[in-house]
Amino acid sequence: MSPAGRKITEKLSDDALTAATGKGWAEWFALLDAWGAAGQGHTAIARHLVDGHGVGGWYAQSITVGYEQERGLRQVGQSSGGDWQASVSRTVAAPAERCSAAFADEELRLRWLPVGELAVRTHRPGKSLTADWDGGAGRLAVHFTPMGEAKTRIGLGHTGLPDAEAVITYKDFWREHLTELKALLESERP
């Protein structure tokens, strides 16, 4: 496993991929090699899988990322554009509006995130938030997915990181702080 995380081929099993697409990792990689995918960009590979092979969008993206990682075209934590990004998620027993307020409301945010500077760019209460992080140390995109009335999946992506080491550092950082957010919101349930 890469220090920055697991490859998509380790997250999505060969059996699950085969069940969903009719082919496993090795078959898709051989097909893409024969097509000359290593010389194509990310978008062209994904489009080829959708248009030429009828693969659904999420699986086309997964196969493309898996191929790029296996062929050394990108590392774990690296986007198709070459920048580095960390992502983490946490399920919290609180409504989506309360979870997004915990990011947007500075007073509430300082209770679980007392370090760093978060400058909110956009906020759609209960849905999403984007922000600049710590004076230019990347950008955050946070999505809030309701899971019933009183549970929310928080997905946080931190883009614009300088290297794989920063991915590791920020994955740990955000895991720790989202755990603190979870504890705070769940302790204050009505």
pLDDT band at residue 119, thresholds of 50, 70 and 90?
A: very high
pLDDT in the model for residue 102 = 97
Residue 144 near residue 96, CB atoms below 8 Å: yes
Name the nearest CA neighbour of 157 among 144, 139, 172: 139
Q: Given a cut of 70, is residue 142 above it in pLDDT?
A: yes
Mean pLDDT, residues 159-187: 92
Does residue 84 sit in helix, strand or coil? strand
CA-to-CA distance for 78 and 128, rounded, in angstroms? 23
Q: What's the whole-number average pLDDT of the chain? A: 91
- The average pLDDT across 121-148 equals 93
Q: Give the model's pLDDT for residue 146.
A: 94
Q: Residue 19 to residues 12, 28, 69, 74: CA-CA distances in angstroms?
A: 11, 13, 22, 26
| Confidence grade of residue 190 (pLDDT, cut at 50, 70, 90) | low
pLDDT at 143: 96
Q: Cβ atoms within 10 A of the Cβ of 82, count?
A: 8
Lowest mean pLDDT among 6-15, 97-106, 115-124: 6-15
Rounded alpha-carbon distances, angstroms, from residue 111 to 39, 174, 188? 49, 15, 12
Residue 84's pLDDT band, with cuts at 50, 70 and 90, is confident
Let me know: does 9 contact 29? Beta carbons within 8 Å.
no
- Of 37-51, 70-84, 138-152, 176-190, the least confident: 70-84
- Please report, as a single letter, which amino acid is at residue 33: D
AA letter at 24: G
The alpha carbons of the chain give a radius of gyration, in whole angstroms, of 19
Segment 1-10 mean pLDDT: 72
187 versus 78: which is more confidently predicted?
187
Q: Mind listing the domains of the chain with CATH numbers? A: 8-70 (no CATH), 84-187 (3.30.530.20)
Closest residue by Cα to residue 171 from 183, 182, 159, 181: 159
Amino acid 50: pLDDT: 94
Strand arrangement of the beta sheet that strand 152-161 belongs to: 84-92, 152-161, 139-146, 128-133, 118-124
Instruction: Provide mean pLDDT across the span 152-177.
Output: 92
Report CA 58 to chain centroid distance, whole Å. Answer: 13
pLDDT, one tens digit per residue, over 15-46 is 999 999 999 999 999 999 999 999 998 899 99
Longest dimension (CA), the chain: 59
Other Cβ atoms within 10 Å of 177 Cβ, number? 19
Q: What pLDDT was estimated at residue 125? A: 96
Please give the model's pTM, rounded to 2 decimal places. Answer: 0.69
pLDDT at 4: 57
CA distance 25 to 176: 33
